[in-house]
Structure formats: structure tokens, C-alpha cells
Amino acid sequence: MDNKVSSYKTVLTRKYRPIKWNDLIGQNEVIIILKNAIKNSFLSQVLLFLGPKGVGKNTCAKILSNELNSFSEVGYLNVFEISGFFNHPIEFIFEIIRKIFIYPKKGKYKILIINDIHLFSQESLNLLLKSIEKLPSHVLLIFCCSENHEIIDSIISHSQVYNFKKISLKEIYFFLKKISEKECIQIEKEALFLISQYGNGSISKALYTFDRLTFYEKKKISKQLVMEKLGILDIDYYFNMINYLLNEKISKILILLNQIFKNGISSTTFINGLTNHFRNLLLSKNTDTIFLLKYKNKTIIQSYIKQSKKLSSSFLIKALMICHNMEKESILSKNSRLIIEIYLIQLVNGFYFYKWNFNRYTSELKNKKIQFLKENWKIFIQKISEKINPIYLNSLKNKIQFQIFESRIILIIPSNLENREFFLIQAYFIKYLRKKLNNPHLKFKTLTKKLDNFPKEQYNFLSKKNKCVDKLIEKLNLKFSYSIPKIPI
């Protein structure tokens, strides 16, 4: 059975390895430039392929070799490979260079693919750099590098540089979907999406992962199986953790973290997931950036939008910085769990201080607005004082109170001023204030302090119309309230 598994695995991973340019996924720009360079005889003898692992650099180098040699065979002839990862002895590298310097018996070119240049010893590196200076016309050197290391600077001056990008989630998903259909492998859409996402832009990683998971389930690969085998944490855990943070429940956060680690989730996976969750919340705060969320499920997107409304952008940015520091320190620490716990507590404390400062700020801002309303009311009354009965003038100036409640300006008036004349004054004041603030959409409400015999029917009518009235009456210590019909202005 082991032999069958090994055979099947080899078939699946190699069967779909690109052979022609058209088979290469997600690198159209590089392909076009290379084709034009070949067509116009502008191709350098030293090429530098830069980009993340698993995006097609090595495969592209081999396809290029076949194209230059006009080989139609499936295999890659005249291609030699060395890697800094294997720590080749200097004699081995010297022998490889000697072989490629010999003119090919078949085809026009010999290609040496050099991987992980930053891992080569200084002696090996010097030998390779010297060979660049005296290359025969039939030799091409292709450096495939995933890191922009200092060593690369010495190669760039001698080479053409081609930048390979990460493969998009969509391209990986449809590539795996095509394979699953051809190979008659049943897999849930969500499971396929998770594998594509797990690849993180690397098509070879995604394909290898998909290949490996086919051995766990003969009937249908489920989302649950993928999450279990890849150590992926359900996003509900992150939503719950943020809810505990909002309620400052440190104990529940630590209990949830313990449960996560019991499920076999690694520290790195958890931190990456939490970082992505905060990023998604930040993106959800703006309608222009919601499309950047890597989710098609509308329910999930709505959950992000809902939770994002409870957190400010400034706090989310701070949370992302905390996650960044958490990741760096957990890598260096022998006790990564302790580091995570410390930073989670720091997040809770950070939210507490943010909330405290925010409440203080909003309270101060609200008081300033109320003071502004009082001052402008007195200025307005003074302007029309000649038209007001002197008996009411003092009451109008000093006994009118203001409050701000849920973006509405509340005028609180004594019951003895509740008459037609006052409502007319109020209408002109609203017009005056809207003009002064250049805001025709300012909302107003009027509440009247009444005696205990205020008609219960009117109170019930008002409560029914506005559910927030009870809350406001209690907050302002008013016994009854009365809604003023909207006056056309």
C-alpha cells in the first residue's frame, strides 16, 4: 500500500507541472518579457528570477531552457541545478561549471539553475561570480532567489532581473478545482478555498497540500478535515476573542486561548490569524476597502462589519502593531505561549485606556457643544429681545437647558414657557443655528418639564414613537416629556 501511495503522490504533483509557457499560472508579465527578449535576441546570459517560493521561478527556468533549445521532449535536457541549501562542496560546483562550459551535443544552450544563493559559502560564491565574467556564448546562468539578500547586489549588475509575484488566491483556487475535477476528487468548496488560502500565494505549496490531503479521505474532503490537518483555526474563535476583549474579560480570553492550543493550533498560526482578523476589521470600517476581504461568504463579511463598528481605526492600528511585536518576540522566546498571553492582556488594557480616554474626550466635546448652544441661544434671544414680552425675557435667557442625545439637540423648557410664542421663537432659533453651522440637517427635539398631573396618554404616545425617550428622561431627571410637531422652516 505504501508503494501505491507513493506512486499516486508522484503522479499528482508532477502530472500538472507546467511544460509550456501557457501552462505557467499567474506570471503572464514575466512570460511576455522573456518571449520578447528571446524574439529580439536581447536575452542576457545571466538572469535573476526574484520572488516568493513556489511561484514558478524554477519551472520557468526549465521551460526557458526547452524554448531556447527547441526541445519538444517532456524532460528538461541540458539543465543543471545547484542549491545553497544542500551545502555542495566546492569540488562539486567546480565540476558542474566545467560540464556546462563544454558545448552541448544536442541543442544550442546549457543552463545552470542556481537556487538559494544566500546559503552558499563564500568560497562557492566567489567561484560562481568568477564564472559569470568568462561565460561561453552557449551558457546561461539563472539565479532563482526568494530573498532580496545583499549578495544579490553583486549579481544584479551582471544580469537581467525578472520579478515573480505571488499567485492570486483566485488563480490557485481554480487551478486546484480543475485538478480535482480531472482526477475525480470530491472536495467541498470551502475546503478547496482553505487549501488555496493556506498556499499563501505559492501554487506548489497549495498543490502539495491538496495532494497530501487526498490520502486522508476517500469519499469527500471536508472543510473540517482540512482545518484539522492543517491546524487552521475557525474564525469564530477570533470573533469570540474580540468580543471578550470588548467586555474586558481577561479570564475568558485566557481560557479560550488554552482551548485553542489544546486543539493543536500552533503559536504562529494563532498570531497570524489574529493579525488577519484585526486587519479585516480595519478594512471593514470603510466601504471602499471591504472588497479586500478574502471572503465570499456574505454572512462572514457582515460579521466583520458589525464587529468593526465597536472598535476605532486608531485602536485597530495599535492592535496590529501589538500583533507584529507579539510575532517577533514569540519566535525568539522559548515560551511563546507566555508571550502571547502577555500581549493579549496588553490588548485588553490598551482597549480599556482607549475607551476611558474616548469617553472622557466625548464628554468634554459634548460639554463644549452644550456651552456653544447656550451662548448662541442667549445671543439669539438678545437680538430679538425687543419683540419679546419682558416678563418672559429672563426665563428665556436663563431657564432654557440644552442636551445632546444620539446626535440630536434637545431643548428642555419649563412648562410655563410652553406656548405658541415660544414655539415660534424656537423655530427661528433652529433656522438661525442651521444657517450659522451651515448644516440644514441638524435634528432637534423639545422636552418640557411638567407637573405630576401630566396626561398619561401623551407620555405613552411619545414613548411609543421614540424608544429612547425613557432613557433620556431618566438621564436628565425629567418627570414627563412632550414631543413638538416639526415646524416647517
Is residue 16 domain-resident?
no
Residues 156 and 240 in one domain: no
Segments forming the whole domain that contains residue 426: 384-476
CB–CB of 207/59 below 8 Å? no
Q: Are 115 and 85 in contact (CB under 8 A)?
A: yes
Same domain (yes/no): 390, 445? yes
- For the stretch 158-191, what's the b/e string if a residue is b when 16 or more beta carbons lie within 10 angstroms of its beta carbon? bbbebebebbebebbbebbeebbeeeebebeeeb
98, HSE (Cβ side, Cα atoms, 13 Å): 6
Confidence class for position 482, pLDDT limits 50, 70, 90: very low
Is 280 within 8 Å of 293 (Cβ atoms)? Answer: yes
Neighbouring C-beta atoms of residue 146, cutoff 10 Å: 19
Which one-letter amino acid corresponds to residue 223? K
* Same-domain check for residues 184 and 292: no
CATH of the domain at 75: 3.40.50.300
Domain count, the chain: 4
467 and 445 within one domain: yes
What's the average model confidence in pLDDT over 142-161?
A: 80
pLDDT tens string 76-107: 578 899 988 888 889 999 999 999 999 988 88
The larger pLDDT score, comparing residue 488 to residue 188, is at 188
Q: What whole-number distance in Å separates Cα of residue 115 and Cα of residue 52?
A: 12
Kindly report, residue by residue over 224-283, the tens digit of the pLDDT.
Answer: 899 988 888 889 999 999 999 988 899 999 999 999 999 889 999 999 999 999 999 999
Question: What letter would DSSP give residue 221?
Answer: B
Classify 421 as helix, strand or coil: helix
Residue 463 has pLDDT above 60, yes or no: no
Q: Are residues 458 and 440 in the same domain?
A: yes
As to burial, measured by CB atoms within 10 angstroms (0-12 exposed, 13-18 middle, 19+ buried), residue 31 is middle
**Pair 220, 312 in one domain:** no
Whether residue 141 is found in the same domain as residue 175: no
347 and 317 Cβ atoms separated by less than 8 Å: no
More confident residue, 110 or 459: 110
Query: Binning pLDDT at 50, 70 and 90, where does residue 473 land?
Result: low
CATH number for the domain harbouring residue 345: 1.20.272.10
Instruction: Centre a 10 Å sphere on the Cβ of residue 326 and count the other Cβ atoms it contains.
Output: 23
Shared-domain flag, residues 249 and 325: yes
Please identify which residue in the block is written with the cell numbers 541545478: 81
- Choosing from 126, 144, 163, the residue where a domain stops is 163
The label of the residue with cell 522573456 reads 34
Residue 140 lies in a domain: yes
Percent of the residues in the chain that have a pLDDT greater than 90, as a whole number: 42
